[in-house]
Structure 1
């Protein structure tokens, strides 16, 4: 599988000289004097053709264009640390690096996915939602040294196995100052990154790093380079059938810290026979609608990798429904944010409505993307919420009646599948039938309603037994829902069904 956002090693070459300038208080950061400018060099390379910008503590900036070999020289006369480096590739990928201080003479500064992860923490410390906002501010904020060290330490722990494998120290590695090496380039070549979504503000959020199966790399799930390389070999084998999952939090992967919370896509591999040459590549992401999944680049990651013979399982609806009221209620109601970032309207397209606001039209983008390469798209209605009334779930929990275009999201998926002659798995109906048989009390063993003595992460949080999460699942529920999806694939008589248990 190709990695469209492979994190190639960047480093910048700057010549910094000149006298000190009067520092100003950085935007949205604790008041702290910036260090004076010094005569220094920061050396390295970037992706060929990238635009590199450097911003200092006072908002002064310099820029340069990388040459065909990925090298550049930038004069930053008079800039005062801290510095913020922003590298934008010809494909539009953006990477940040934060430099707390520079010394006179030679300095190494790398700009890559790992440094972007550190810059993400810097952004949040400076009260931005993520690196996008930090870059847009065009200023390097002052950040307490302890916070920066904490972020680097967390990254080291996340990468500890891989660092050991390439001969680097998990005690001293710093992605900003690390000398370029074949091992580090190899590591960066199998790490994918993306920026999240801040549901409270609608802005792009923090940076996360992912392995080849799009499982997040964290201190609770450390990254092994050897394992990642084996995974890529397995995924890319010509006789492997890949099942890509595009969806929301009901299907997504979860860090072990949140155990036993799981999405059905996270455990979907369990539905296939042992030894079968099929692999689930789960890109489902929490909080995404069919539209925001595209706008945030997840769709493009699938499009760059999917091939003939693969399957694309598409399950949205939970967040497409977030269409607010009309007219929008004032803040703190989320109407404006949700309509802008998540909402798609159910039903057939309406005259005067933007194409991207139509749930049907958005779903058809997924269908077209898969069919273009000879893959099989499968539309899946959203899994039911645990909404028992009078002892049963009496109907779909995926309608919205308050916005401009009220309607039934599950029915829109059914209609879109029929109109485009593609397979449909009616998970909404299947899951309602399943949980009605299990019963209201029994369903607590499937939805996220756990014993906090066993899972203390959920003390005082939604997901505890006395405060159940009626949308998401624990492991047993995720596996059961995955079984319902597998049942739907069988009913459609798809070739991949022969590989199911």
Structure 2
């Protein structure tokens, strides 16, 4: 921490297929910089909007710095800077109210950033309204959302760290939601749909809580979401749900519980794949990807991906697991040519 404080005091001053989403800004607003930082956190008094953040990392000693923001969103992975050198990185962040789950608390106005990593050192920072930003909106449940408290994390909470400056993630996933409740709540679909602009990507993963939704209703709800996105000029992307960590005796995942077949016999991933094919919607088959990964890790190795060790929870992911799953989503977005490879981080 002492190294970080010294680095802040010795800061160097820097010169200054999807839609553009310019941030709202105060008239005459100047670039905001390191004067808004103290110790291991920064606060910027900005209105809701989309902002580019440029950081200059490093100090007198070797450092490793990560940046998170708002409601525990991972914005920049741990980045190394050799002793005496500076490393510049940039990312784009969505600022809104509520800042986390749409039905959650408002959070703190403005943009809040937290410095982490094993040896953090910030030399300079600049925050500016984004002039050209590619927007990805997320519609989902607790396995996707910006979880407010540790040890929980949704994959959407970890996705921003894989995206470079010019791509923002607006995570409107919300805990406990099904296709029925998401469509019916004005704080959810009623809020998200008007925000979709021509060319926006909208990733939809809703299944875990559709436990009593019959197949006809579930299929119709997915179609409604797809058509709503398209009506706004956006591009819908259907995402099959992450698996539950529920093994058979032979080391494979259980076909019903793990692979999300509900009590009415509705096989959610199968229906999602079918709707995607029928409507010509890009599909991220996260069920298949996470199934392969969890089975490869086995009964013991897969515990760290979920919250089994903390809460005997086989549905919700740890920060580690959410980060791994966000990486799978990133890979699929690139493979489907939905996000250019030049705008993603490894």
With structure 2 as the length reference, what TM-score do the two structures score?
A: 0.63
Query: How far apart, in 1, do the equivalents of 2:131 and 2:286 lie?
Result: 31
Q: 1:387 and 1:295, CA in 2 relative to 1: closer, same or farther beyond 3 A?
A: same
Query: How far apart, in 2, do the equivalents of 1:216 and 1:407 lie?
Result: 27
> Which structure 1 residue ranges, 5 or more long, are not aligned?
4-160, 166-185, 191-209, 324-343, 350-357, 451-463
- Per the alignment, in what secondary structure is the counterpart of residue 262 of structure 1? coil
Offset at residue 387 of structure 1 (A): 0.4
Alignment equivalent of 2:203, drawn from 305, 309, 313:
313
Figure out how many residues of one structure are paired with residues of the other and give that number. 245
Residue in 2 aligned with 1:386? 245
Offset at residue 222 of structure 1 (A): 5.4
Alignment equivalent of 1:398, drawn from 260, 274, 278:
260
Q: 1:400 and 1:226, CA in 2 relative to 1: closer, same or farther beyond 3 A?
A: closer
> Which structure 2 residue ranges, 5 or more long, are not aligned?
1-20, 24-41, 50-94, 114-126
Offset at residue 421 of structure 1 (A): 0.3
Q: Are the equivalent residues in 1 in contact too, given 2:98–2:107 (CA < 8 A)?
A: no
Residue in 2 aligned with 1:374? 233
Q: 1:415 and 1:497, CA in 2 relative to 1: closer, same or farther beyond 3 A?
A: farther
Q: Are the equivalent residues in 2 in contact too, given 1:289–1:319 (CA < 8 A)?
A: yes
Q: Deviations over 1:112-155 (max 9, x none)?
A: xxxxxxxxxxxxxxxxxxxxxxxxxxxxxxxxxxxxxxxxxxxx
- Per the alignment, in what secondary structure is the counterpart of residue 195 of structure 2? coil
Alignment equivalent of 1:418, drawn from 271, 277, 283:
277
Offset at residue 269 of structure 1 (A): 0.7
Q: Are the equivalent residues in 2 in contact too, given 1:290–1:317 (CA < 8 A)?
A: yes
Query: How far apart, in 1, do the equivalents of 2:341 and 2:276 lie?
Result: 19
- Per the alignment, in what secondary structure is the counterpart of residue 374 of structure 1? coil
Q: 1:225 and 1:319, CA in 2 relative to 1: closer, same or farther beyond 3 A?
A: same
Residue in 2 aligned with 1:108? none
Instruction: Note the aligned Cα RMSD (angstroms).
Output: 3.3
Q: Are the equivalent residues in 1 in contact too, given 2:199–2:235 (CA < 8 A)?
A: yes
Query: How far apart, in 2, do the equivalents of 1:294 and 1:428 lie?
Result: 23
Q: Are the equivalent residues in 2 in contact too, given 1:446–1:477 (CA < 8 A)?
A: yes
* Residue 135 of structure 2 is aligned to residue 242 of structure 1: yes
Q: Deviations over 1:306-337 (max 9, x none)?
A: 111210000011011x21xxxxxxxxxxxxxx
Q: 1:221 and 1:478, CA in 2 relative to 1: closer, same or farther beyond 3 A?
A: farther
With 410-419 and 441-450 compared, the bigger mean Cα shift is at 441-450
Q: Deviations over 1:56-97 (max 9, x none)?
A: xxxxxxxxxxxxxxxxxxxxxxxxxxxxxxxxxxxxxxxxxx
Residue in 1 aligned with 2:293? 434
Offset at residue 498 of structure 1 (A): 4.4
Aligned ranges 1:484-499 → 2 under 5 Å: 484-499=328-343
- Per the alignment, in what secondary structure is the counterpart of residue 304 of structure 1? helix
Residue in 2 aligned with 1:136? none
Offset at residue 486 of structure 1 (A): 1.6
* Residue 147 of structure 2 is aligned to residue 254 of structure 1: yes
Residue in 1 aligned with 2:100? 215
With structure 1 as the length reference, what TM-score do the two structures score?
A: 0.44
Q: 1:377 and 1:238, CA in 2 relative to 1: closer, same or farther beyond 3 A?
A: farther
Could you say which structure has the higher strand fraction?
Answer: 2
- Per the alignment, in what secondary structure is the counterpart of residue 168 of structure 2? strand
Q: Higher RCO, 1 or 2 (CA under 8 Å, sep at least 6)?
A: 2
Aligned ranges 1:220-231 → 2 under 5 Å: 223-225=108-110
Q: Are the equivalent residues in 2 in contact too, given 1:385–1:470 (CA < 8 A)?
A: yes
